[in-house]
Structure 1
Amino acid sequence: MINNKLLLLGATLLVANSLNAKTTICYKKSWETPSTIETTKLDGGECKGEKSLKEMKRAGWYIKDIEIKNAKKGLDYNYILSDINPVVISKELTSKNDITTALDMQTQTTKLYDVTSDHAKINIGNLKVGQSGVIQHTYKDGHSLIISSAYVESSNSNYSTVKFIPFLDLKQNAIPTSNRVVANNDTFILNFMYDQSLLITPNIDAFRATRKQFTVNNFVHSDIFGAYLKSEYRPLPTQKIIQEFALSQNMGTIFIVIKSNLYILDSRTFTLLNKQTIPNISSKTQMPFYTRIEKIESNIFTSDIWSWLDFSAITKFLNDDRTEDEVLYGDLATKKSKDQMDYNSYYANVLGLNNDKK
């Protein structure tokens, strides 16, 4: 009954939020220390000089676009933020993907044609919805610049349609951004950085088996991700946290092992692209995943869920004796510690597999 109440409350608030999607612009003028911009209080919009970009993300806002310009002194920063994820691919589209078929992760380059304000076509067919890449413009002097990211929205045997999204990989806060828009004959690089990957596994056996099977990929060690979660007080990473880390490290794919299955996702769209079997691995699990980083403590005040659910209101609504972690993580916590939670169930839920035959 308690869980049903929590789900009902959450669903009601999510529906209300989706019907009232908002966009806000926060800015900082003449800033001279780019390395601190994400933790600096921003002016304007919903930031109001009181919240930093990092705090806005924790409050449920997503970066829709970034504009960085040279100023007489330092740089001017403009962040367009939305309370709805700008990269949302409908389940109806992704359900058409056959995730058991082979995924070609090699980089492919082609020219864009039939360009509109947010879409274009490419002469590569039979792609999976959610595969992504970057759009590059080459100037007359031979210099090139990445001006956007894009993902496959539809594909047939002859061509594919891609949709433009902001380029947020490996953000460099010290370099101004271009105002150039995508045009015909710009270059689309499919599967950009797909060989740079984040690997999440339940144990050392699965970690080694995956690396052995994918020798071309450069896997960032999970200890680095563990250290990041420790610094963020996030023992259980959400989809948003996983994506942000992967993109900040310029990784194009995310590999997650659940039971004896390996799931490969696109970092920019978090779309499930491929499923493979990893045979003969141990069933032993640990939380949050295989890492040698110990004691990743939680801080309830940095948790994404509290950006749209007030903890005191939930406690009153539920009227039970559960701990903060048990309320935050639901059935997965029960009366166990975070280290004893069910790794497989947790990550199946992150991937949306619990109510899906995939």
Structure 2
Amino acid sequence: MKQITLFLIFTLGLFAGVIKAPIVSVDNVNNVVTIKVNKIDIGVSGFLVHRLSQRTSSILKSLEVVDYNEATGIATLKMAKFDSLLQNSLPTGNWDVEVGDIAILAYGYTRALLIAPNEEIYYRITKATKQVHWLHPDIFTTILSFNGHPTPLESDFLAMSNATSIGLIFFYLHQKLFTVDAQSMKVINISDAALNQTKVQLPFYSRIYEIDAAWFGEGSDILEEYEPYYCNMLIQNNPSNKEIQRICSMKSNITEEGESSWSIKSIYNNLF
């Protein structure tokens, strides 16, 4: 428990506050900007603010850190369309990104969701620190039911992040805690978190045991395996991270349960 507490304090210490830095260069050909910052991890996301006047400003782009030079303190940020606060009823502007615009990164990093295999692990981790405002997984299962996805898709995590303003997702896999940026799905940190685990609730621990399924399409099937599925999702979004591949190749010590885990009675008996 002490190990988990120290891990969470360390992780959140890296993102104790929102990072704000002015844009120092703009490359419209490669769709990137640069900022100068003391330290930042690749994969951290945010947005770019363009000031229109002393009292008004507008968010122009989504940002993701794709490179950081420790020697110069220069971080390179990839720009993309910003649609986290999409409102079709409001007009949009045609302003260009300029030097001096403000990059805001690590926004919402004190709000997080934990994907855990069972109730005991979920509560042991979330009770280890009060520095995090934990979004209960019941809210995520509600989003999954609305989308008809008993198997969570990457788009579901993004939709949840946009709807609830969480900045981080923690995945508990192979007795490790993976800290993941909720917008970029990039792994920011990995730490040991050895806890006893014998059973798993699919698709993750929640007090809601049934998720409505669409008739067909990706995500409409019931998830059959916990660690292999989420490991594959992280590997796909972090293809150059060899540590994730190494950890995910380890043999699981969780007893996987398929459709039977969706029975309220069986889950109740397993957890209590």
Do they superpose with TM above 0.5? yes
Q: Which amino acid aligns with 1:137?
A: H
Q: Which amino acid aligns with 1:133?
A: G
Deviation of residue 168 (structure 1)?
2.2
SS of 1:225 mapped into structure 2: helix
Q: Which amino acid aligns with 1:109?
A: K
Tell me if 1:246 matches 2:135: no
The 8 Å contact of residues 152 and 219 in structure 2, kept in 1 or not, is answered as no
The 8 Å contact of residues 150 and 219 in structure 2, kept in 1 or not, is answered as no
Q: Which amino acid aligns with 1:144?
A: S
Per the alignment, residue 37 of structure 2 pairs with 124
Report the aligned-residue RMSD: 2.5
Pairing of 1:1-358 with structure 2 (within 5 A)? 104-106=14-16, 107-117=18-28, 118-157=31-70, 158-303=73-218, 325=221, 338=222, 341-352=224-235, 356-358=245-247
Compute the TM-score of the two structures, normalised by the length of structure 1: 0.57
Deviation of residue 166 (structure 1)?
1.6
Structure number with greater CO (CA < 8 Å, separation at least 6) is 2
Structure 1: runs of 5+ lacking an equivalent: 1-100, 306-324, 326-337
The 8 Å contact of residues 176 and 190 in structure 2, kept in 1 or not, is answered as yes
Give deviations 1:69-128, integer Å, cap 9, x for gaps: xxxxxxxxxxxxxxxxxxxxxxxxxxxxxxxx9571231111101112221111115422
SS of 1:352 mapped into structure 2: helix
Give deviations 1:205-264, integer Å, cap 9, x for gaps: 222222233422222110011122122221111222222222232222211111321111
Distance 1:252 1:170, change over 3 A: farther
Distance in 1, Cα, partners of 2:15 & 2:118? 25
Distance in 2, Cα, partners of 1:214 & 1:108? 22
Distance in 1, Cα, partners of 2:148 & 2:51? 42
SS of 1:242 mapped into structure 2: helix
Q: Which amino acid aligns with 2:93?
A: S
Distance in 2, Cα, partners of 1:248 & 1:242? 10
Q: Which amino acid aligns with 1:233?
A: G
Runs of 4+ in 1 over 6 A off after TM superposition: none
Distance 1:256 1:174, change over 3 A: farther
Tell me how many residue pairs correspond in the alignment: 226
Per the alignment, residue 27 of structure 1 pairs with none
Deviation of residue 145 (structure 1)?
2.3
Per the alignment, residue 314 of structure 1 pairs with none
The 8 Å contact of residues 112 and 134 in structure 2, kept in 1 or not, is answered as yes
Per the alignment, residue 35 of structure 1 pairs with none
Structure 2: runs of 5+ lacking an equivalent: 1-9, 237-241, 248-272
The 8 Å contact of residues 148 and 219 in structure 2, kept in 1 or not, is answered as no
SS of 2:143 mapped into structure 1: helix
Distance 1:272 1:232, change over 3 A: same
Q: Which amino acid aligns with 2:60?
A: I
Distance in 1, Cα, partners of 2:91 & 2:182? 24
SS of 1:284 mapped into structure 2: coil
SS of 2:156 mapped into structure 1: helix
Distance in 1, Cα, partners of 2:131 & 2:37? 23
Distance in 1, Cα, partners of 2:53 & 2:219? 45
Deviation of residue 178 (structure 1)?
2.9
The 8 Å contact of residues 125 and 160 in structure 1, kept in 2 or not, is answered as no
Per the alignment, residue 7 of structure 2 pairs with none
Distance 1:197 1:177, change over 3 A: farther
Distance in 1, Cα, partners of 2:148 & 2:197? 28
Q: Which amino acid aligns with 1:143?
A: T
The 8 Å contact of residues 125 and 156 in structure 1, kept in 2 or not, is answered as no
Distance in 2, Cα, partners of 1:163 & 1:226? 31
Q: Which amino acid aligns with 1:186?
A: D
